[in-house]
């Protein structure tokens, strides 16, 4: 009887997960990330070593997006103005990102936030590449020097959020596309009715259907989902129900009854595919951001360009949802350049659309002192 009841509840909640919302309850379980959530008990020690301005620069940098919100970056502090940027091997996504391509793109987004925050505090950042490949523990050397203070609304870094629901099915205004694209030659927009968008819709569903059959991928995902509030507070990285837009009754249920084994079950896999179908059906089109090649420097720069665009999206009420399956699975990753007639290498696939509301971020954040190592 207990097993049957639990099965009934699971299947009922899976229907909610697949639909992506629960009428009347969609916001009741969602708590925005607060300012005090962005630091920890050891923040004062970091401030004592490098000063509050520099500690704040690291804090702003750490708000960058990353796959599964693993936050792979590490800052090794050689002195107050000399830092090494690397990655933590225990935060690599070996199954979906075996070449660390997505990791380097995330480090690029982290670097863009860092440079923006540094300039807003009156520093110029001299950057030197240290690594030969994405697996090297030390990727970049940074030197902070006094420079001209550049006015930038730093609240954009705090308020940036990945949106998965609430997109309107209408084409983006050409002026908004120009604003988001800026001077990026490897930025391409595919309106909802275009052949490119239709292929991306179908390819995303097909790649998702295939990816959920890969047990190692599901196990990796399960490792990074923080179903309970206790795990969220313990790790402060990974995906919470709120970050996945699972709120209301569904959010309450998964917080209290879900665990790693449920991610490996067939019901969760089916719900993942149904959710992908619902997402691509709710869209203002796709943005593709590419690079000339896949060198370390090119990937870092592409990550920076992506983050610059992302930080501007809210001001035009444009939601952004990075979806990676097509670039992670064959044959779709091999077909995309030919189908879309791209000369560059696609690195980001972004479902975009005007949004009725732009809620505050809910993504967990590791404190700056937990990603920073001070050399004695």
With CA atoms as reference, report the closest residue to 101 among 315, 328, 364.
328
What's the CATH code of the domain at 78? 3.40.109
Residue 46 C-alpha from the chain's centroid: 26
Same domain, 9 and 101: no
Same domain, 291 and 340: yes
pLDDT at 30: 55
Checking if the pLDDT of 10 tops 60, the result is no
The neighbour count for residue 344, using CB atoms within 10 Å, is 18
DSSP states of 126-181 as a string? EEEE--SSTT-SEEEEEEEEE-------THHHHH-----S-B-SSPPPHHHHHHHH
> What is the chain's mean pLDDT, rounded?
91
pLDDT at 42: 81
Read off the pLDDT of each residue in 179-188 and give the average, rounded to a whole number. Answer: 96
Checking if the pLDDT of 61 tops 90, the result is yes
Q: Is 26 helix (H, G, I), strand (E, B) or coil?
A: coil
Residue 143 inside a domain? The answer is yes
CA–CA separation, 190 vs 267, rounded Å? 32
pLDDT single digits (tens) 137-177: 999 999 999 999 999 999 999 999 999 999 999 999 999 99
Same domain, 7 and 79: no
Residue 89 inside a domain? The answer is yes
| Residues 326 and 200 sit within 8 Å (Cβ to Cβ) | yes
Residue 111 inside a domain? The answer is yes
Same domain, 73 and 202: no
- What angle is formed at CA 185 by the lines to CA 115 and CA 163, rounded to 5 degrees? 65
Provide the domain limits for residue 324.
2-25+161-354
pLDDT at 39: 65
Which residues have C-beta within 8 Å of that of residue 171, sequence separation ≥ 6? 191, 192, 193, 284, 285
Same domain, 260 and 192: yes
Q: What percent of the chain has pLDDT over 90?
A: 85
Checking if the pLDDT of 24 tops 80, the result is no
Domain count across the chain: 2
Checking if the pLDDT of 5 tops 80, the result is no
Task: Give CA separation, 70 vs 26, 66, 102, 154, 293, in Å.
Answer: 25, 6, 11, 23, 25
Same domain, 366 and 350: no
Q: Residues 98, 100, 106, 110: what is their CA dihedral angle, to the nearest 10 degrees?
A: 150
Residue 30 inside a domain? The answer is no
Same domain, 108 and 238: no
E-strand spans in 268-344? 286-291, 318-322
Same domain, 21 and 127: no
Residue 7 inside a domain? The answer is yes
Checking if the pLDDT of 44 tops 70, the result is yes
What's the CATH code of the domain at 6? 3.40.109.10
Tokens of 265: 């079950």
Read off the pLDDT band of 38 (50, 70, 90): low
Same domain, 208 and 148: no
Same domain, 208 and 228: yes
Residue 333 inside a domain? The answer is yes
Read off the pLDDT of each residue in 237-261 and give the average, rounded to a whole number. Answer: 92
Residue 93 inside a domain? The answer is yes
pLDDT single digits (tens) 203-213: 999 999 999 99
pTM score, whole prediction: 0.91
pLDDT at 255: 93
Residue 91 inside a domain? The answer is yes
Same domain, 201 and 190: yes
Q: Is 206 helix (H, G, I), strand (E, B) or coil?
A: helix
pLDDT at 240: 95
Same domain, 125 and 236: no
């Amino acid at each position: 009887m207990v097993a049957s009841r639990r099965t009934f509840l699971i299947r009922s909640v899976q229907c909610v997960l697949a639909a992506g919302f629960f009428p009347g309850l969609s916001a009741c379980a969602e708590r925005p990330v607060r300012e005090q959530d962005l630091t920890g008990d050891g923040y004062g020690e970091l401030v004592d070593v490098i000063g509050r301005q520099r500690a704040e620069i690291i804090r702003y940098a750490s708000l960058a997006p990353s796959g599964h919100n693993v936050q792979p970056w590490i800052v090794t502090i050689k002195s107050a103005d000399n830092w090494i940027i690397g990655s933590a091997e225990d935060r690599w996504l070996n199954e979906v990102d075996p070449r660390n391509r997505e990791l380097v793109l995330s480090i690029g987004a982290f670097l863009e936030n860092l440079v923006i925050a540094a300039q807003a505090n009156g520093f110029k950042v001299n950057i030197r590449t240290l690594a030969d490949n994405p697996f090297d523990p030390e990727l970049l050397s940074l030197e902070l020097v006094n420079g001209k203070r550049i006015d930038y609304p730093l609240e954009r870094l705090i308020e940036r959020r990945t949106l998965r629901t609430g997109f309107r099915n209408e084409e983006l205004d050409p002026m908004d596309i120009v604003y988001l694209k800026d001077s990026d030659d490897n930025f391409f927009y595919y309106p909802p009715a275009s052949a490119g968008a239709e292929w991306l819709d179908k390819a995303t569903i097909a790649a998702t259907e295939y990816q959920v059959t890969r047990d190692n991928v599901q196990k990796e995902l399960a490792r990074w989902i923080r179903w309970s509030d206790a795990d969220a507070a313990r790790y402060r990285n990974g995906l919470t129900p709120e970050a996945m837009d699972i709120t209301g009754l569904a959010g309450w249920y998964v917080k209290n009854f879900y665990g790693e084994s449920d991610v490996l079950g067939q019901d969760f896999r089916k719900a993942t595919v149904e959710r992908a179908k619902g997402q691509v059906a709710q869209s203002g089109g796709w943005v593709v951001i590419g690079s000339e090649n896949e060198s370390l420097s090119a990937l870092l720069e592409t990550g920076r360009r992506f983050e610059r665009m992302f930080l501007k999206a809210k001001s035009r009420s444009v939601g952004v949802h990075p979806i990676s399956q097509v670039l992670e699975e064959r044959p779709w990753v091999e077909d995309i350049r030919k189908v879309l007639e791209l000369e560059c290498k696609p690195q980001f696939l972004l479902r975009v659309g005007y949004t009725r509301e732009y809620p505050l971020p809910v993504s967990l954040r590791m404190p700056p002192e937990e990603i920073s190592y001070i050399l004695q």
